[in-house]
Amino acid sequence: MIDLKYLQKNFDEASAKLIKKGVDELTLENLKELFKTLKSANATLEEAKSEQNKMSKLFGEYMREKKDITELKAKVNEKKEEIVRLQAIAREAQEALELVALAIPNFPDDSVPEGANEDDNIELKKVLEPRKFDFKPKEHWELAQINGWIDFERGVKLAKSRFSVLRGEAARLERALINFFLDVNREKGFEEVCVPFINNSTMLQGTGQLPKFEDDLFKIDGEDLYLIPTAEVPLTNLYNDEILTSKELPILLTGYTPCFRKEAGSAGRDTRGMIRQHQFDKVEMVAITTPQQSEEIFEMMVDNASEILTKLGLPHRVIELCGGDLGFSAARTIDLEVWLPGQDKYREISSISNTRDFQARRAKIRYKDGKKNVLVNTLNGSALAVGRTLVAIMENYQNEDGTIEIPEVLKNYM
């Protein structure tokens, strides 16, 4: 949730920022009006209540002094009707505002480049030179077939399309990667946590998946529960509605979870292979920081994810997302894209975002700064997406006969 007071006071500046992210000015104009309406509705309501409270307090006095209360009672009853009316108005204003406000994305940082979509993203650097093959590198699904690593058909049978089964060495490699990632993260100071893979709607709203992106989520029938689309949800919301002390910050968390996404709207994209699945494993980093710390921690998280790829010997590049490609909650995002020789392109394998206080405002995560309660900054990033790493290893470490080498650092984990 954006800071509505800021929007109201610095409307032109705020709308300029949000336009960068593709929000039209009319929506913002509307939002500003709704906020104003709510404020005045609340003011009149509170005034009426104040009067009524004062009158009510008199009853105690009157009773003790044995005075006649019939007149007072009539007056209070009159006020009461007015309050009921004002209450309805205030509530309507509140609901109308929330409907719009919760659907407004975060402000991008000033440093975020202008741009409409991924074509306008900026490559910051490349790490590691892609290997030269003296044969035509295969795509991972061919390799999967040759090695018997991925059983796409039976995954579909068990669930539906976009589900798959890892077998044998691939299953072991998946597990090895998870352990390897968690270990590296822990060495960097992240506390390892193991969390529920199902969260309730309050938490999903806290991190921004709800209410706007409900279609992307798997919901548990008849319950107020959803399968998590990323560990960012449980990790960040670990501190939902809490007031932390400044001493505790920064809080660095890492956790492995499967992630469940409906992938609504990506029909036809990446249908082949396991680049885009309804269920995939991911090791996530989450940081809860003061506003002052968040920049430095952000850099650290990017470096960490990049280092992991480097340790695995996977060529990748670092991409700064432009305003138009930025996610809903993000103020700034850096993507890591790994080289896939079979596909002959770089593909996203990690996305590290600073949401500033956007999620904190929704999730009510604050810390005590002296006497004041201040919203924390929350950051999240993959380190890394496990399934895509597996794909990257398959394609980068393939031999001409389709067999696959295991990266050196993983040998202790297999």
Rule CB under 7 A: say whether 172 interacts with RNA.
Answer: no
Instruction: Give, as ranges, the residues between 367 and 396 that touch RNA (CB under 7 A).
Output: 368, 373
DSSP 8-state secondary structure symbol assigned to residue 246: G
Q: Give the nearer residue to RNA in terms of CB position, either 57 or 160.
A: 57
Rule CB under 7 A: say whether 220 interacts with RNA.
Answer: no
Determine how β-strand 242-245 pairs with β-strand 251-260: unpaired
Q: What minimum distance in Å lies between the beta carbon of 52 and RNA?
A: 6
CA distance 4 to 63: 46
- 3-class state of residue 259 by DSSP: strand
Rule CB under 7 A: say whether 9 interacts with RNA.
Answer: no
Rule CB under 7 A: say whether 243 interacts with RNA.
Answer: yes
Rule CB under 7 A: say whether 60 interacts with RNA.
Answer: yes
Rule CB under 7 A: say whether 246 interacts with RNA.
Answer: no
Mutual angle of helices 386-396 and 169-187, in 10-degree steps: 110
Q: What minimum distance in Å lies between the beta carbon of 374 and RNA?
A: 9
Number of Cβ within a 10 Å radius of residue 86: 18
Rule CB under 7 A: say whether 94 interacts with RNA.
Answer: no
Report, as residue numbers or ranges, the catalytic residues. 261, 276, 348, 351, 388
Nearest to 316 by CA among 349, 338, 334, 340: 338
Which one among 44, 77, 292, 412 touches RNA, defined by CB under 7 A?
A: 77
Instruction: Give, as ranges, the residues between 33 and 52 that touch RNA (CB under 7 A).
Output: 39, 42-43, 45-47, 49-50, 52
Q: Give the nearer residue to RNA in terms of CB position, either 100 or 128.
A: 100
Q: Is residue 137 reached through a cis peptide bond, with omega within 30 degrees of 0 on the bond before it?
A: no
CA distance 395 to 164: 18
- # chain residues binding RNA, by CB under 7 A: 26
Rule CB under 7 A: say whether 66 interacts with RNA.
Answer: no
Rule CB under 7 A: say whether 276 interacts with RNA.
Answer: no
- Binding piece for RNA, criterion CB under 7 A, among 59-67, 132-140, 203-211, 344-352: 59-67
Rule CB under 7 A: say whether 95 interacts with RNA.
Answer: no
Residue 362: its H or E element: helix 358-363
Q: What minimum distance in Å lies between the beta carbon of 247 and RNA?
A: 8
Rule CB under 7 A: say whether 88 interacts with RNA.
Answer: no
Region class of 404: left (phi > 0), else alpha (psi between -120 and 50), else beta: beta
Torsion angles phi and psi, residue 396, rounded to 5: -80, -30
Rule CB under 7 A: say whether 53 interacts with RNA.
Answer: yes
Asked whether the beta carbons of 180 and 410 are under 8 A apart, the reply is yes
The contact pattern for RNA, residues 132-171, with x = CB under 7 A and - = no contact, is ----------------------------------------
Q: Give the nearer residue to RNA in terms of CB position, either 156 or 225.
A: 225
Nearest to 131 by CA among 303, 307, 336, 342: 342
Q: Give the nearer residue to RNA in terms of CB position, either 49 or 167.
A: 49
- 3-class state of residue 328 by DSSP: coil
Report CA torsion sign: 189, 191, 197, 202.
negative
CA distance 213 to 197: 18
Rule CB under 7 A: say whether 76 interacts with RNA.
Answer: yes
- Binding piece for RNA, criterion CB under 7 A, among 26-34, 75-83, 179-187, 310-318: 75-83
DSSP 8-state secondary structure symbol assigned to residue 57: H
- Binding piece for RNA, criterion CB under 7 A, among 70-78, 114-122, 134-142, 272-280: 70-78
Rule CB under 7 A: say whether 57 interacts with RNA.
Answer: yes
CA distance 366 to 376: 5
Which one among 11, 33, 37, 80 touches RNA, defined by CB under 7 A?
A: 80
- Binding piece for RNA, criterion CB under 7 A, among 58-66, 126-134, 229-237, 269-277: 58-66
The contact pattern for RNA, residues 328-367, with x = CB under 7 A and - = no contact, is --------------------------------------x-
Rule CB under 7 A: say whether 78 interacts with RNA.
Answer: no
- Tokens for 232? 């960012």
- Give CA separation, 165 vs 144, 335, 383, in Å: 11, 27, 22
Residue ranges of E strands in 45-204: 122-127, 150-151, 165-166, 191-192, 198-200
DSSP 8-state secondary structure symbol assigned to residue 181: H
Rule CB under 7 A: say whether 59 interacts with RNA.
Answer: yes
Which residues contact RNA by CB under 7 A? 5, 39, 42-43, 45-47, 49-50, 52-57, 59-60, 63, 73, 76-77, 80, 243, 366, 368, 373
